[in-house]
Amino acid sequence: GENVEQHPSTLSVQEGDSAVIKCTYSDSASNYFPWYKQELGKRPQLIIDIRSNVGEKKDQRIAVTLNKTAKHFSLHITETQPEDSAVYFCAASTSGGTSYGKLTFGQGTILTVHP
């Protein structure tokens, strides 16, 4: 089955710096890659996602890039703010077949933004 590796496990930055989190996946059939942000005691919230027919997607300070050949995708946060501090999870899934509704998650990255 699919396996998703996420790095780093912890990331500490100063306010205003950029943060980059990287994930690799094993199943070449994976075609959907969401990123979730989970604050302490809260639900995971979708912050951005990308499908395999797109190489890059941006939403304000957040961007995601996908390299299908290398089977990796990355989350980029620019101009970080203290409220960006949270655990970030990458995930991968394959539409249809026997994979309906299944997201395979990375282990998470604890991002701390220092004021």
Partner 1 sequence: KAGVTQTPRYLIKTRGQQVTLSCSPISGHRSVSWYQQTPGQGLQFLFEYFSETQRNKGNFPGRFSGRQFSNSRSEMNVSTLELGDSALYLCASSRGFEDTQYFGPGTRLTVL
Continuous H helices in 1-115: none
What residues from 76 to 115 belong to the interface with partner 1 (CB under 8 A)? 89, 91, 93, 95, 98-108
Taking the C-alpha atoms of residue 16 and residue 31, their distance in angstroms, rounded to an integer, is 32
Among 34, 35, 47, 74, binds partner 1 (CB under 8 A): 34
- Please tell me whether residue 27 binds partner 1 under the rule CB under 8 A: no
Nearer to partner 1, 79 or 110 (CB): 110
Q: Which two tokens stand for residue 46?
A: 């979708």
Query: 96 in the Ramachandran plot: left (φ > 0), alpha (ψ -120 to 50) or beta?
Result: left
Residues that bind partner 1 (CB under 8 A): 32, 34, 36, 42-46, 49, 89, 91, 93, 95, 98-108
